[in-house]
Amino acid sequence: MALDPRTHTPSSNDSSHKNALSQFRHQVKQAKQEHTLGWALTRKLVEPRSLPATLEQLVERIPQSSCQPAIQEMLLAALPSPGNTSSKSNVHADRLKELTGLPATKAIRVLCLYFDLVDQESQRDDTFDPQELEDFVRIHTNPYDWLLKVDDPSLLDLGAGDLSFEEALLTQYLPQIQNAGQLLILHALDRLQPGSQFGGVYHASQERLARLSQHPLEYLHFRFWGAKDMLDLTTPRELRKTYSIVTCHAPATPTFAFEPTRLSQNTIQEHLKRTKGDFKTVRVNGEEALEVHHRGRTLTFPLWKFAIRGPLPLLDLMAQRGQLCILSAIDAEVFWEILAQLVEDESMRPPNVVLTQDNLPEIFKQVYESLSSLKEGERCYLSNVTPLRIQLPHALTPHPRGSEGFRFGYVEVRRGAVFSDMPASFTAQQFSQMSEEPLPWCLILIPDLLVS
């Protein structure tokens, strides 16, 4: 006789039920291990004043989840019925233990994590005032000191490479953050596949990763995600919605050097062939790669090396995620293409004209003159030279709800790779040994999401 799923109460010797239960236990355990930040945030949800609302939310959320019906039933039986959530004594600790393997409070916390009650929105720093940030950045030569000013310091590093910057940042800031009794969230990601034969010096070594991960969780939550495309941050869930600072050091070229909304695919591809050489996809030891014939040499790169995304999605991403955005060690090609997006004057975004050293003075006129006269270490406020762009279009999908675009209310340009008081990335440190390479640029930006 077939079982009616609505009336079937699972018994402990039902093997499919046992499987479902052990699978669920495994999943919640994994959620707890993988989302250390989310796990830490669940602590607030079980504080006495939040617990009743948390239990109500769980009871509401469980039936809407994709969890197996038998597990949903068990969970609902373990939690107090709606309207009866006022205290933890109404929770069935033994049933929760069977379901999660954890004692009652931890079990509720892990369920909050599993059923997505850790709202990323609640991670926002409500006390943040953009004007205060601008005043701060104008006065201080080192924008990273913002981490010491905020209550909830956090930094996201995009295209983090070998993680030298993370080490330099922690050496400089962790002792102070620890002394202040704060917790620093440090997240870094890179598109390189860990263990890939391509990508060379930009891979993070196991030793460095181990060093970065060894700090006690009370004052540092460090996570690094490899094989992660920065332009798709829908996962991992542990990423914060906003960070005190978002950085991108030595933004990848040619990825961010050509803006596809300004330049046609044809123009970009022809320019790449002319300047970088012929390229094709090859397979090396079972791994796909991009082979480039450059000035008589054959070079191999990760397959996506010539995937052109342009600066708009990068700026959009940084504006959406950062209170403060810092791009450092930007080479000339990427810098001027980014700059073209930051200014109001449309003649500095000429359609289908690739920016080259030869046409920069003519296209950027007084902006070129002012910026190229900056000496190493000098800074300049772009709004003193030319009006800043009033609205940039969102280039990342999905667009943030209720926002029609974004802008940067503060744009500071600096010349140089390494600044004496600021932590520097691996690439930034290489410039001093590259005598033929022109001095790179640094941009310090304060974004503003425009609401519709």
Ligand X SMILES: C[S@@+](CC[C@H](N)C(=O)[O-])C[C@H]1O[C@@H](n2cnc3c(N)ncnc32)[C@H](O)[C@@H]1O
Provide the binding-site residues for ligand X, judged by CB under 6 A. 159-161, 189-192, 199, 202, 229-231, 249-250, 252, 255, 329, 425-428
- Dist. CA 38–CA 120, nearest whole Å: 9
User: Of 118 and 314, which CB lies nearer to ligand X in the complex structure?
Assistant: 314
CB 188 → ligand X: shortest distance, Å? 9
User: Of 336 and 364, which CB lies nearer to ligand X in the complex structure?
Assistant: 336
CB 252 → ligand X: shortest distance, Å? 4
User: Of 24 and 426, which CB lies nearer to ligand X in the complex structure?
Assistant: 426
- Dist. CA 310–CA 40, nearest whole Å: 36
User: Of 41 and 160, which CB lies nearer to ligand X in the complex structure?
Assistant: 160
CB 79 → ligand X: shortest distance, Å? 41
| Size of the chain in residues | 452
Comparing CA positions, the residue from 176, 156, 170 lying closest to residue 323 is 156
User: Of 107 and 326, which CB lies nearer to ligand X in the complex structure?
Assistant: 326
CB 126 → ligand X: shortest distance, Å? 30
CB 278 → ligand X: shortest distance, Å? 21
CB 95 → ligand X: shortest distance, Å? 44
User: Of 42 and 255, which CB lies nearer to ligand X in the complex structure?
Assistant: 255
User: Of 80 and 311, which CB lies nearer to ligand X in the complex structure?
Assistant: 311
User: Of 244 and 255, which CB lies nearer to ligand X in the complex structure?
Assistant: 255
Provide the token pair at 154: 């956090």
- Dist. CA 446–CA 133, nearest whole Å: 8
CB 313 → ligand X: shortest distance, Å? 9
User: Of 99 and 158, which CB lies nearer to ligand X in the complex structure?
Assistant: 158
User: Of 172 and 359, which CB lies nearer to ligand X in the complex structure?
Assistant: 172
Phi first, then psi, for residue 244 (nearest 5°) are -60, -40
Find the radius of gyration of the CA atoms of the chain.
25
CB 165 → ligand X: shortest distance, Å? 6
Comparing CA positions, the residue from 320, 152, 333, 315 lying closest to residue 248 is 315
CB 226 → ligand X: shortest distance, Å? 9
CB 425 → ligand X: shortest distance, Å? 3
